[in-house]
């Protein structure tokens, strides 16, 4: 269940026209906040429209019955209010989810019934190994390490997903776990999707375990046949403690003598056959999965509590977010982008979707930027040649690496800080995110340019993916992006059954909630978890959200703010005039506007919340400016008509004209009574400012 604060935050961010789902009445369209008469008293309600122009007014205290539909709102069909189709659809889905939850829980329970070695770190040696980490652990990273250590020592098979953004320190968590397992006499297998990532991880593990009685080996295409045969023999005999490799590790020819820990990096890149082999390996060993953008199914299992989840969301110190740009293919823009990176001493990645595109783009780069040295790399090159090119690029012998998606996973080249992706519409969301993670791995600001065909319309899905990627440009956005991917694609094949159709039936959020409830129900041996009801309250008194909580949904609060600002702006006008005789009216007006704007900023932000600074309607910055102008105009008229022309000398008493005018405005235009404390507050603040000014400077107008 969501926290109440989540519901309020979501309601304040809803815009008119959004597709929403009511637990009892189905899919409708949110219109806005309305105040209606209920039991003889005003009541704030959310107005929702259904098919046939049916309308539902949902009391604000029952807002937890409402959820968002999800990314595919354009395809949503509104339900008929009071019809039986929604309830039958929901009941049908619940039966399916209960069956699915039963299978998920059985799989998890069978795993928990198995025994696994209890691995506990040797304190002295573990402390020395941890001290080799050259950075200070972030709080999230330390929490993940502690959770993994707890799982390893529990005596049951660990199955934990570490979800952390690229470059946030997931590998260090894996290194600590590998150390504990290897020092306890168990073998560790680190499975990665690409040969380049295998090479990099092998290098990292070898460096960290140097000087320790632990043998680290590599199994991938980059290893010669003789060395690979020797590694396989060492794995079978138990003389290899840690092996890093690609899917070659999953072949039938490799047999582990005493496998205790399986580490899977970037699971989303493995094919179906490889995953089936992984399942065989995982039966009674500890499993640690690392991912920046987990596949929707993996994320779904973690969110429903079937798998354990650790989030590493804190960026390393001094890390800057990658600036992301999306534009049609433009040779001049590409030339300027690559040269700018060269001039600041860095290197660039240029990624294409297919090997067949490499020759065309290579010719284009030689013609457009002849000043730069370009290397070409792809997965079908001979291992030795690929290794030589990557080493040369790492050493700075080339300015640009033109490649396919082999650079997607885990490559760490700190000097590469510009990425250009050709035909970005042909890539998946997590692919683009992973590619963007190849740059910006140092303290230097990095840039990513995603190019699109100039004269071709994008599919709706491709356009939505690119918009999501551009919006998630903050550090640590990988988990959010995976959630968007889960929303866009559905959970996929959770148990061999397509789930995206189910999500479209009830919307993403309600589907997620129903799956969680089904899992909880099965866990509790069939005891029904009835969380889908909400109390109906009818007490005959006004039930309204204070205007400061949901100001973005409308109401007279803006006029009240304008009156407060006018009071203070009026006082500023008096202060300027008293301190500086003969000041032009334009100077006074400028001072009033500045003061009003400064006063409005905290008032409006407190009402709206900083999270809605640009997304609210109206935008907060626009509201600040509009209210400042309104209050200044009001105070300006009052000052020059009531004070300057009358030659008043007792400014503090004249200031009372403002709240008196507020009373009149409240009755005439707002249709409501301004509270006494609001009027008193305006008067006291304004009088206080003017009186203090008079005491300090002792000048009269």
- Domains of the chain (ranges; CATH) run 4-89+503-523 (2.40.10.170), 123-312 (3.40.50.300), 323-473 (3.40.50.300), 551-697 (no CATH)
DSSP states of 104-165: HHHHHHHHHHS--------HHHHHHHHHT-SSPPPHHHHHHHHHHHHHHTSSS--EEEEEE-
Q: Are 261 and 286 in contact (CB under 8 A)?
A: yes
Q: How far apart are CA 295 and CA 301, in angstroms?
A: 10
Q: How far apart are CA 138 and CA 475, in angstroms?
A: 14
Q: Which positions ≥6 away from 497 have C-beta within 8 Å?
A: 96, 100
Distances (CA, A) of 679 to 236, 320, 327, 651, 682: 84, 47, 53, 18, 5
102-116, 179-193, 499-513, range with greatest mean pLDDT: 179-193
Alpha helices in 242-330 (DSSP H): 272-282, 296-303
Tokens (6 digits) for 304: 């429903």
Confidence at residue 506, expressed as pLDDT on a 0 to 100 scale: 65
Q: What percentage of the chain carries pLDDT values higher than 90?
A: 18
Confidence at residue 112, expressed as pLDDT on a 0 to 100 scale: 67
Q: How far apart are CA 690 and CA 359, in angstroms?
A: 76
Burial class, 288, CB count within 10 angstroms (exposed 0-12 / middle 13-18 / buried 19+): buried
Q: How far apart are CA 177 and CA 180, in angstroms?
A: 5
Confidence at residue 469, expressed as pLDDT on a 0 to 100 scale: 65
Distances (CA, A) of 257 to 186, 240, 260, 357, 548: 9, 10, 10, 44, 66
Q: How far apart are CA 82 and CA 69, in angstroms?
A: 19
Q: How far apart are CA 374 and CA 321, in angstroms?
A: 26
For residue 47, list its beta bridge partners: 32, 57
Q: Are 563 and 662 in contact (CB under 8 A)?
A: yes
Query: pLDDT category, 227, cuts 50, 70, 90?
Result: confident
For residue 29, list its beta bridge partners: 19, 49
* 284-295 pLDDT, tens digit each: 789 898 877 554
Confidence at residue 59, expressed as pLDDT on a 0 to 100 scale: 84
* 38-68 pLDDT, tens digit each: 767 788 888 999 988 899 998 877 777 887 7
Confidence at residue 349, expressed as pLDDT on a 0 to 100 scale: 93
> In 184-194, which positions are buried (b, 16+ CB within 10 angstroms) versus exposed (e)?
bebbbbbbbbb
């Amino acid at each position: 269940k969501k926290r109440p604060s989540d519901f309020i935050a979501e309601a304040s961010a809803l815009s008119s026209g959004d597709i929403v789902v009511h637990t009892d009445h189905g899919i409708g369209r949110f219109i806005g906040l309305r105040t209606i008469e209920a039991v003889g008293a005003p009541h704030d309600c959310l107005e929702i429209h259904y098919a046939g122009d049916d309308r539902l007014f949902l009391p604000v205290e029952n807002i937890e019955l409402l959820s968002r539909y999800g990314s595919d709102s354009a395809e949503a069909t509104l339900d008929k209010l009071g019809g039986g189709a929604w309830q039958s659809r929901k009941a049908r889905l619940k039966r399916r989810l209960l069956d699915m939850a039963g299978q998920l829980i059985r799989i998890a329970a069978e795993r928990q019934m198995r025994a696994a070695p209890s691995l506990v770190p040797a304190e002295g040696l573990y402390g020395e190994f941890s001290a080799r980490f050259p950075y200070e652990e972030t709080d999230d990273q330390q929490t993940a390490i502690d959770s993994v250590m707890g799982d390893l020592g529990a005596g049951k098979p660990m199955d934990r997903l570490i979800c952390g953004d690229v470059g946030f320190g997931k590998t260090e968590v894996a290194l600590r776990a590998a150390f504990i397992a290897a020092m306890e006499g168990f073998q560790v297998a680190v499975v990665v999707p690409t040969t380049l990532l295998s090479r990099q991880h092998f290098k990292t593990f070898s460096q960290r375990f140097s000087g320790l009685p632990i043998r680290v080996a590599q199994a991938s295409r980059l290893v010669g046949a003789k060395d690979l045969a020797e590694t396989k023999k060492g794995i079978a005999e138990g003389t290899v403690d840690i092996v890093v490799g690609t899917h070659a590790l999953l072949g039938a020819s490799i047999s582990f003598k005493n496998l205790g820990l399986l580490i899977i990096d970037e699971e989303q890149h493995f094919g179906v056959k490889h995953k089936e082999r992984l399942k065989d390996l995982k039966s009674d060993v500890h499993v640690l999965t690392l991912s920046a953008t987990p596949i929707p199914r993996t994320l779904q299992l973690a969110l429903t509590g079937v798998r354990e989840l650790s989030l590493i969301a804190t960026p390393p110190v001094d890390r800057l977010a990658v600036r992301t740009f999306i534009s049609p293919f433009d040779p001049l823009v590409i030339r300027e982008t690559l040269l700018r990176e060269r001039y600041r001493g860095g290197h660039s990645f240029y990624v294409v979707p297919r090997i067949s595109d490499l020759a065309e783009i290579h010719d284009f780069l030689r013609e457009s930027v002849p000043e730069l040295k370009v290397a070409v790399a792809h997965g079908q090159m001979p291992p030795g040649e690929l290794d030589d090119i990557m080493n040369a690029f790492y050493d700075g012998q080339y300015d640009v690496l033109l490649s396919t998606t082999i650079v997607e996973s885990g490559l760490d080249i700190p000097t590469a800080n510009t990425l250009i992706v050709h035909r970005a519409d042909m890539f998946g969301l997590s692919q683009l995110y992973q590619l963007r993670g190849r740059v910006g791995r140092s303290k230097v600001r990095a840039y990513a340019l995603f190019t699109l065909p100039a004269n071709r319309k994008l599919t709706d899905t491709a356009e939505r993916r690119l918009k999501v990627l551009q919006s998630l440009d903050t550090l640590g956005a990988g988990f959010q992006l995976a959630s968007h991917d889960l929303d866009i694609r559905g959970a996929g094949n959770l148990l061999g059954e397509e789930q995206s159709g189910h999500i479209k039936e009830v919307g993403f959020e309600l589907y997620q909630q129903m799956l969680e409830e089904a899992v909880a129900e099965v866990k509790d041996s069939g005891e029904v978890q009835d969380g889908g009801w909400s109390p109906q309250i009818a007490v005959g008194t006004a039930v309204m959200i204070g205007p400061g909580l949901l100001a973005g949904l409308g109401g007279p609060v803006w006029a009240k703010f304008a009156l407060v600002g006018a009071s203070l702006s009026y006082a500023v006008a008096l202060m300027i005039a008293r301190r500086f005789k003969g000041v032009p009216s334009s100077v006074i007006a400028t001072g009033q506007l500045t003061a009003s704007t400064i006063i409005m900023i905290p008032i409006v932000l407190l009402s709206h919340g900083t999270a809605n600074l640009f997304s609210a309607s109206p935008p907060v910055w626009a509201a600040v400016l509009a209210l400042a102008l309104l209050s200044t105009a009001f105070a300006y008229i009052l000052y020059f008509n009531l004070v300057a022309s009358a030659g008043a000398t007792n400014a503090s008493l004249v200031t009372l004209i403002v709240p008196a005018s507020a009373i009149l405005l409240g009755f005439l235009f707002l249709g409501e009574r301004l509270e006494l404390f609001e009027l008193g507050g305006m008067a006291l603040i304004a009088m206080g400012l003017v009186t203090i000014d008079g005491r300090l400077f002792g000048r009269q107008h």
